[in-house]
Structure 1
C-alpha cells in the first residue's frame, strides 16, 4: 500500500541524477561478482548501467525491459557520522558500490524503504545491532539526496550465546513467547536483557523497569559483545518470583499444572489456597514451569510407591522410623486438621512417645505425610496439606488427601510391605 510512495521518491532521485536504471541480469551480476572475487576486488556493483545515457535507458524500457533502480553513490567521498555508542565512524564511498533501491518488480529495497519510513515518521534515533553499521553510510547518503535530516545512529554490540557465537535458535529459546512459555516473568527478562552490554552502576543488578529507564543512557552502553547466560536469567527470575504477589504467581502457574497433568480450574477460594502454597515453590524454583513438581506432594500421594523407593524403603525398615510413623498415625487419628502450631505439638508428642529426635524424628514424618524423602519445610508443607484437604469441592482444585488419612495409609502400606 506504500509502493506509490516509494516510487515517487525513487522518481525524485532519478530526476535529480542521484539514481539510475539498471538492466543487469542476475547471471551478469553473478559473473561480475565471481570475477571480482577472483581478482581480489571488493564484490560491489561494477557500475555497468551507471554509464547509460537517458536515450539508451528510455529505449530499453520502451522495448519491454524491466529495470531495477540503483542509487548513484558519490565518487571519492568520505561518509562520516558520530555513532552515539562508538564515536566517530568513517567510510570511503569507493568501497560501498551503488545499491539497488527499487527492484525490477517495483518493490523497494530495505535501505531505501527504511530511510523514507523513518524520515516521514520523524525518527530521531536509530538503535540497532552492530551488524547494521555497514548499512549506515548508504542510508546517510540517501537521507542527504532526499533532503532529509539523518537521525542519530547507535550501534550496539551483538548478543552472543554461551559459545560466544551470535545468539540464535540453536542456543535455545530466542523469542519472548518462548521465554514466557518456559516460565520467565516479563519483569525478569526485561531486567536481565537490560544488563547485557550495559550497567546501571553502583553495583546494582536487580532493578524495576522504571529505575532501569531512569538510569539508562546510550552513552553508557559498552562496546564489547554481551553473552546471554540463561543461568543468570534464571537467577534474576527467581528474585522476581519471590517478590511477586502470590495470587499472581498462582494464576500464572495454573497452565503449567494442567500441562503437568494436575488438572485444575481454581475458583477464588482455590486461588487463595494456591497462593498460600506458592512460597514453598517460589523460594526454590527458577521458573514457573518448575512450580508443579515442587508442589506435587500436595496432589500426588502414593505410600506404596514411596516405599518402593530404595532410600525410603531402606529407612523404613528401621524400627525407630516405624515407631515414629505409627505414633504419628495414632496422634492424628482423632486430631483436628494441622496448622503450624498443631503440627509442632504433634511432633513433640511423637518425640515423647518414641524418644526419636532431630532427623530420626522428622524425616520419617516427612516421608509418611508427603510420600517423598525431600521437599519444602514441614512447617509449611503440613499446614498446606491439611488446608487443601478442607477445600470445598467447588474450589476447582484436585482432591488433596489430609495428613490424618496419609498417616493411616502409610502405616497400612508399611504393614503390607513387611
Structure 2
C-alpha cells in the first residue's frame, strides 16, 4: 500500500480490536472480515487486540468467544493474545503503564491537564447546556489550573482525570479512505478524557497508543467511530506521532433501513454455526454487504475475495442485511459440498441412533437428497425424518385432488404389483421411474392419481423429494411395506 500523499510504501497492518463485553455479533465479524481481506490483499498482517479497559462491562469468558468466532469463520490472525508477536502484549489491561506514561508526558508538555471536577458538577453543566440547547461538552473549568498546583493536588490523593486540551479555533480534517474529506470544527470537540480517575485509559488514549506502537495502518472500523477520529488525530498531533489512514465502514441496516439490532433477529455471530450455516457462505454474503466487486458474479472463494477486495469499492451508504439472501447463499454452498463433507457436517444435527441405522453410502444419499431442498444444515433433520421412521399421516392425504379413496387404493395396489416383480438389485431411481411411468402411460393410470399416493405413503408429506428417489433409498422391502400400510389406512 502507498501513502496517499507521497507514494511512500507502507506496510499494511490491520487490526480487529473488540471489547470482551459480550458475544461477538454480525457487525463485529463484518468489520473483522474487511480488515482481514485488506491485510491479505496487500500481503500484510492482521492483528487481534483485546480492548478490555471497560471493567464495568468486562466478561471473562468473552475473549475466548471472540477467538472461537474468528476461528469458525476462518479469519486467521497473525498476532494476538494467544499468538506472540513483536508488539505485544495484545490485551490492553496488560499495557496500563504505557498509557499512564503517555498521559503524564502530555501533561508535562502542556497538551493535557488534570481535571478535578466532581461527577455532580459535570452533571449540572450538562443539565444547563441542555436547557440552553448548546453542545454538550466540558466547560474547561480546570483547563487553566496552575500545572504545579494541579500536580500537588493529585499527589496529595485528590481524585482527578486527565483531559486533552482541544484547540478552541480551527478545524480538523479526516481524509477518510472511504468517505473522502470530512471536516470537523475544533470548537465543537470536547476536551476528551484520556485517563480515568482509577488510572485506566479511555478508548481514545488506549487505541491511539496501541495503534501507534503496533504500527496499525490503516485503521478500518465502523462508521460510529468517525466522530471520534478528530479527537484521535489531535491526540496523535499532541504526541508528535504520524497518524495512520482511517477508513470508516458504512452501517449495516435491517430490511426497514434502520440500524441492524436484536429486533431484526439474533445478532450473535456463532448463532450462524448453531443454525447450520456454513462459514464460507456467511463470509461470501458479508463480503458483499457494502462492497461492490464490479461484476455480476456473486459467488466468490476466499482467494477470489482477497484478490478483488479494495476499500475504494466500499460504499458510503448503509448496507442492507437480507437474511433471505443469506439463505440463498447457504443453500448454494450446501449443494456444492462434496458428499462426504456434507455428511460429516450434517451428522451433528442428526440423531445418533438414526444415523447408525444406515450404512455410510445410504446415509450419504439421504443427506444429499435433503440438501437439495435445505437452506441450512439445521433443516436437514426435518427433511430426512421419513427415511428413518415410518410417517404418520391422515388417510385423506393419500387422495390426489378430488380422487376417491377406492380409486386411490386401486392405484396403490397396482404399484405394489409392479414393484413386487422388480428384483431388489434393480430397485434404482432410474429403473423405478422408467418402469412405473411406462405402466402409468400404457394402462392410463394417471400420473397424479398414482404418484401422489406413492409420495405420501413413503414420506407422509405433500412436498418431498421425488417418490422414485425416496423408494430407491428406502429399498424394495421398506417401500413395499409402506405402500401396504397405506392400503390398510384406506380400507
The normalised TM-score by structure 2 is: 0.75
CA contact (8 A) 2:418 2:436 kept: no
Which residue among 92, 108, 117 is the counterpart of 1:15?
108
- In the other structure, the counterpart of 2:385 is 296
Post-superposition shift, 1:297?
Answer: 2.0
Post-superposition shift, 1:37?
Answer: 1.4
CA contact (8 A) 1:247 1:272 kept: no
What is the alpha-carbon distance in structure 2 between the residues aligned to residue 322 and residue 190 of structure 1? 51
Q: For the structure 1 residues 41 and 344, does the alpha-carbon distance in structure 2 shift closer, same or farther, using more than 3 Å as the test?
A: closer
What is the alpha-carbon distance in structure 2 between the residues aligned to residue 211 and residue 360 of structure 1? 50
- Higher share of residues assigned helix: 1
- In the other structure, the counterpart of 1:312 is 398
Which residue among 243, 252, 271 is the counterpart of 2:336?
243
CA contact (8 A) 1:85 1:156 kept: yes
- In the other structure, the counterpart of 1:369 is 458
What is the alpha-carbon distance in structure 2 between the residues aligned to residue 282 and residue 335 of structure 1? 29
1:73-222 alignment to 2 at 5 Å?
73-222=166-315
What is the alpha-carbon distance in structure 2 between the residues aligned to residue 166 and residue 53 of structure 1? 46
CA contact (8 A) 2:184 2:230 kept: yes
- Deviation string, structure 1 residues 85-117 (Cα, Å, up to 9, x no partner): 011111121111211000000110001101111
What is the alpha-carbon distance in structure 2 between the residues aligned to residue 218 and residue 353 of structure 1? 65
Aligned residues: 395
CA contact (8 A) 1:157 1:223 kept: yes
CA contact (8 A) 2:400 2:448 kept: no
Unpaired stretches in structure 2, ≥5 consecutive residues: 1-93
Q: For the structure 1 residues 157 and 359, does the alpha-carbon distance in structure 2 shift closer, same or farther, using more than 3 Å as the test?
A: same
- In the other structure, the counterpart of 1:411 is 487
Post-superposition shift, 1:14?
Answer: 1.2
Unpaired stretches in structure 1, ≥5 consecutive residues: 390-400
Which residue among 423, 435, 449 is the counterpart of 1:360?
449
The normalised TM-score by structure 1 is: 0.88
Post-superposition shift, 1:61?
Answer: 2.2
Q: Does 1:71 align with 2:154?
A: no
CA contact (8 A) 1:320 1:356 kept: no
CA contact (8 A) 2:250 2:318 kept: yes
What is the alpha-carbon distance in structure 2 between the residues aligned to residue 376 and residue 111 of structure 1? 58
